[in-house]
Structure 1
């Protein structure tokens, strides 16, 4: 299995957008070919396996990670946007376009989720709602009108977000239907969803709650959540990379001097608090759900890097974080091994894939989507 040297510190990336797009296409083919498959062999379906290699029927069916599939939709939309610009399919003329594959995936998520889009976690639903919003916009721009299904998803999931965004604990959005925990992972993507669907007052209220309850005053990053414990409110002060992403997205979407100032401060805080010492590389957060975290943050840092309303030093800092982290993922890749995707990416951008995934180790979808997300983010930068 060929691997690539991965020095402890990397020079700043000088790779241009065209090369990043080519790398994103390679990652897209690796994921769609390696993990993508029909659901129970049903024609017209598409879903991603949770891990490779797959063994038996149990391996084909579970476990079920709804929000991983939502981010798979988002990655396919990224590829679809590049297809729209270049008129070249990421997987060749004889294969489905990224947008068509994303549409199949959304339909298959509903089948796999027992014919519903709702589940017990509001953050999961928010990620799918955001991804399908982007898919609908891609369909409109490619003059391929979005299916009525997308409007159905918006209607059904908006009802869920409205029910979860209450005045309990002063505001915010519940994480799950247990309704004992309000957190950044749910509140931030719901705020971003509201802001992108014209519900600006609701979005601003959620952002204000995050600023008041979960923004660390010294570090400038957002803490995880507020929990009801024995009738008392208790702050969970963990700091996760991905939580900063949708907050940043919501601040940018809402705009205005106060929100944009907060967005600039958040980019600075990420560079200071969430990079590996001595580098401009955003830290990794392990495997499982954590295997998505860095990629999600990079998606929204790329939006900041391209936003002319932010100060130039802020845009430069955001772009550098995206490029240098994506460069680290690429530098540490491994190529082709048995029962694995054709390209293998580490879950830690500063460790080589051959080290984090030695031969015989199962490879999780989340970690490969993360690297793909990083390359797509880098490909959007000027």
Structure 2
């Protein structure tokens, strides 16, 4: 199974390279993802380039590099970082949206320790800039500079960033705030809290990537706390382990979140299928799949409940990937992925391009035209390639 999924991930990578990868304004040694295919002149000139989409373009490249650390991939990563810095027309902190910056920090942070590639020296400044935006009263980030909307799209990625970079206290306080305020009765993460003159108003919208980032943050926190623990949980009965260490509540929450995801965000065949548009929404299910793959592979297997949770997460990743692959189109031998993983992809010709509304990129009339949708498909193939190293579809 590993060879099959690695090959499919290679084809997804090749499709992006063939249709979307381009030099920035023709400048040698740069690369970005053109936001649409087929592209218009304004797309090719990067009049619109969508900062946070490029962060996920980097993330997908890192996934591919981790499968096979080739010189070609190393050069493309370096050129993409250079392209992002060039097109941003200033330091990476030059962006009003904290969620955008947090995604960029996560992607660049994953470059630490990779052979032949290095994150920019400004990564530390980017992380500090994000943390400086935390509201001193609420202890969480607003969506953007000066906003009164405090949402999971900003705080989920920041919590992951903090847990990975050793700022564990902040990561825990942010996820505790989300857990107290933004988990609905079905166990699904809601969008955020808007502070108004009448008091806090919960925005109950469901976007599947919020489920993903919250699970991802809880996993990073649990692993960090477990690393600090002196208790050999593998040698304890599960009932004893429940009270043994601070990380156990985070593990228990992850189990509940994975089960809620399977019940409410996936089909009866365990295919992730929460309806999304193209545009920004094109990335949402792919991000959820990324963090489900992390749980399948990195959640400690020291109890039968954890092992069942890992298998369930793996099943959702592999079944979603199989469905998405089955519903793809092929153009010149390379996949065009569907925006909806359980329905056939549409050929993105003569589509009205994506537009922006109040800081959100709306989808093209044929969502498959959008880079975000194709990155999501690539992200899913990479997740399946990782998971298939340990699990097969028949075993989960």
Same fold, TM exceeding 0.5? yes
Please say if 1:280 is aligned against 2:270.
yes
Could you list the per-position Cα deviations for residues 75-105 of structure 1 after superposition, in whole angstroms to 9, with x for gaps in the alignment?
0000000013xxxx4xxxxxx5223212211
1:267-314: CA deviation from partner (whole Å, max 9, x where unpaired)? 0010011113x3211114121100000000000000111135251110
Out of 253, 259, 272, which is 1:262 matched to?
A: 253
**CA RMSD after TM alignment:** 1.7
- 1:166 is displaced (CA, Å) by 2.1
Could you say which residue in structure 2 is the equivalent of 1:3? none
C-alpha displacement of 1:250: 1.1
Equivalent pair of 2:209/2:288 in contact (CA under 8 Å):
yes
2-side partners of 1:308 and 1:200: how far apart? 18
Q: Which runs of no fewer than 5 residues in structure 2 stay unpaired?
A: 223-246, 352-365, 391-396
C-alpha distance in structure 2 between counterparts of 1:58 and 1:34, whole Å: 12
Matches within 5 A, 1:282-321: 282-283=272-273, 284-309=275-300, 311-321=306-316
Q: Counterpart in 2 of 1:365?
A: 371
* Structure ranking higher on relative contact order (CA contacts 8 Å, 6+ apart): 1
Aligned to 1:242: 209
SS at match of 1:233: strand
Alignment of 1:143-158 (within 5 A): 144=116, 146=118, 149=120, 151-153=121-123, 155-158=124-127
Checking the alignment, whether the CA contact within 8 Å between 1:54 and 1:60 is kept in structure 2 is no
Q: What is the alpha-carbon distance in structure 1 between the residues aligned to residue 209 and residue 98 of structure 2?
A: 16
The separation in 2 between residues aligned to 1:63 and 1:231, in whole angstroms, is 37
Q: Deviations over 1:237-287 (max 9, x none)?
A: 0111001111111111111101111111110010011113x3211114121
Q: Per-residue displacement from partner, 1:51-84 (whole Å, max 9, x unpaired)?
A: 0222325642222310000000000000000013
| Correspondence for 1:104 among 79, 85, 89 | 79
Structure 1 spans left out of the alignment, 5+ residues: 1-15, 90-95
8 Å CA contact 1:122, 1:160 repeated in 2: no
TM-score by length of 2: 0.83
Partners of 2:131 and 2:160 lie apart in 1 by 14
Does the CA-based 8 Å contact 2:22-2:31 persist in structure 1?
Answer: yes
Task: Give the Cα–Cα distance (whole angstroms) in 2 for the partners of residues 57 and 273 of structure 1.
Answer: 39
Matched, 1:222 2:217: no
Counting only pairs closer than 5 Å after superposition, residues 1-382 of structure 1 correspond to structure 2 as 16-57=1-42, 59-84=44-69, 89=70, 97-118=72-93, 119-138=95-114, 142=115, 144=116, 146=118, 149=120, 151-153=121-123, 155-168=124-137, 170-216=138-184, 218-255=185-222, 256-276=247-267, 278-283=268-273, 284-309=275-300, 311-336=306-331, 342-353=334-345, 356-357=346-347, 359-361=349-351, 363-381=369-387, 382=390
SS state at 1:176 partner: coil
Distance 2:78 2:112 in 1: 9
How many residues align? The count is: 342
Q: Which residue of 1 aligns with 2:235?
A: none
Aligned to 1:12: none
Q: CA deviation at 1:158?
A: 1.8
Residue 207 (structure 1) shift? 0.8
Q: CA deviation at 1:43?
A: 0.4
Q: TM-score, normalised by structure 1?
A: 0.86
Shift in Å at residue 31 of structure 1?
Answer: 0.3
Distance 1:287 1:145, change over 3 A: closer
Give the distance between the partners of 2:209 and 2:28, measured in 1 at CA.
Answer: 35
More deviation, 72-81/207-216: 207-216
**1:19-38 residue CA offsets vs partner (Å, 9 max, x unmatched):** 11110000001001210000
- When residues 58 and 81 of structure 1 are mapped into structure 2, their CA distance, relative to the original with a 3 A threshold, is closer
